[in-house]
Amino acid sequence: MKKMALFGGTFDPIHRGHISMALRLADELGLDEVVLMPTFVPPHKIKHSMADAEHRLAMCRVAAAPHPFLSVSDMEITRGGASFTVDTLTALTAQYPDAEWYLVTGADMFCTLRSWYRFDDIAKMATLCTVPRDGTDVQALKTYAEELTAQGVRCYVADEPVEPISSTEIRDKLAAGESTDEWLPDGVADYIQAYGLYTVVADARDSDEQYKEIIRRRLGDYRYHHSLCVADEAKRLALRYGADEKKAYTAGLLHDIMKDTDRKSQLQILTDFGILLDEVEQQVDKLWHAKVGAAFLEHILQVKDRALLDAVRYHTTGRAGMSLLEKIVFVADFTSADRRYPDVDDVRRLSDISLEETMIYTIDYTIRDLLGRGQSIHPDTLAAYNERILERQTGGQRDE
Ligand code: DGI
Ligand code: FE
Ligand code: FE
């Protein structure tokens, strides 16, 4: 009977530690084939620094090529959505009914196996195995395995540990421009180099280039072009009104990052980060992209700059007490080069003379437009409006 093993993981990227584990187990257990199964990562869990599924898959293929006993399956990635190990094992055992199956997991995952979804079914279908890592507690693994065995679960822990290599460390090193060749299977380093993977750096100099790539993937042609135009316009306004030009440009680039994302994914992000929609927002889904955009930037792209996040957050409705950057992004959204509406040239001229007057004009226009179409008006839009009207009536001095 053919002995086969399922070895799942994000493999982001696959490294020598993974290959050593597979080799060790294949050797000790006499496995005929180890199936590397890169997992699907849901879109809202994708971090800035992650490689696309196709790249993770391709790197596994490169790594597996020299080893006849290693194969790569795209089953989970092709299936899309979160896959449960139990479902994958069920599919594999149906595909290879005559094989005896093993499930390979990393040492940390091994110790959580009992809490996996439908663990009992998993345990019926496969022998659970792992390899300790140098420096990890071999004894803890052995004890856990003994407990499992006592429950009648087939399992196996290799004696000799493998090198403790971590994908996270590899990504961090690559982002810092350091070499990780010694940790990577032959060909994988070249692959990473060729596609420029994991080069995301916190370096401010070229972060806009990375943001462009990110929005390019998330937005349609029209919206991408609009974002570039708003970025240019925000930069121009920042120069005119003495704001941080670089930050204004970035905020403009990112302001509509969620505009082309479907309702369901937007709701998922709100749920994931515990963000609530107010009464008007629940009714008007056009408003979501500002709030969800700010959440996506903060929690997924790890943007830390609160002023920038707020500029995205309030670019659609405005609010009372807006910062200079918030006003700039709000106005740039109306005066960007791609905008075509009858009085756009007047608004652009006005934006050169007074940012405040442009705010009043555009908020006034938005409210009239919404009233004309019988739409609800968000309280923040009203607050931004009232603040200005009150100030005008009391003849307050403006900061320009
Ligand atoms: O994303 P953009 O199209 O570049 O522009 P935006 O974010 O300013 O506007 C998105 C839409 O939201 C636009 O159709 C107008 C609408 N909107 C803006 N403020 C309000 C609003 N809709 C309602 N119902 N209430 C508002 O206060
Ligand atoms: Fe917008
Ligand atoms: Fe916009």
**How far apart are the C-alpha atoms of 109 and 382, rounded to whole Å?**
52
| Residue 44 DSSP code | G
pLDDT of residue 202: 44
The SS3 assignment for 240 reads: helix
| Six token digits for residue 101 | 């199956």
Q: Which of 280, 316, 363 to mutate to test the pocket of ligand 1 (most atoms within 8 A of CB)?
A: 316
Span 222-277, pLDDT tens digits: 999 999 999 999 999 999 999 999 999 999 999 999 999 999 999 988 988 889 99
**How far apart are the C-alpha atoms of 85 and 101, rounded to whole Å?**
13
Question: Which ligand 1 atom is the nearest neighbour of the CA of 284?
Answer: 24
Q: Which of 225, 226, 287 to mutate to test the pocket of ligand 1 (most atoms within 8 A of CB)?
A: 287
Q: Which residue has the tokens 């930037």?
A: 297
Ligand 1 pocket: which residues have CB below 6 Å?
Answer: 256, 259, 284, 286-287, 315-317, 333, 366, 370, 375-378, 381
**How far apart are the C-alpha atoms of 8 and 39, rounded to whole Å?**
6
DSSP one-letter string for 161-216: PBP---HHHHHHHHHTT---GGGS-TTHHHHHHHHTTT-----GGGHHHHHHHHHH
Positions of the chain with pLDDT lower than 70, given as ranges? 42-49, 200-206, 395-400
The SS3 assignment for 397 reads: coil
| Six token digits for residue 325 | 């950057």
Phi, psi of 3 (to 5 degrees): -100, 120
pLDDT of residue 49: 66
pTM exceeds 0.75, yes or no: no
pLDDT of residue 333: 98
Question: Which ligand 1 atom is the nearest neighbour of the CA of 290?
Answer: 7
For residue 33, list its beta bridge partners.
Answer: 4
Question: Which ligand 1 atom is the nearest neighbour of the CA of 375?
Answer: 24
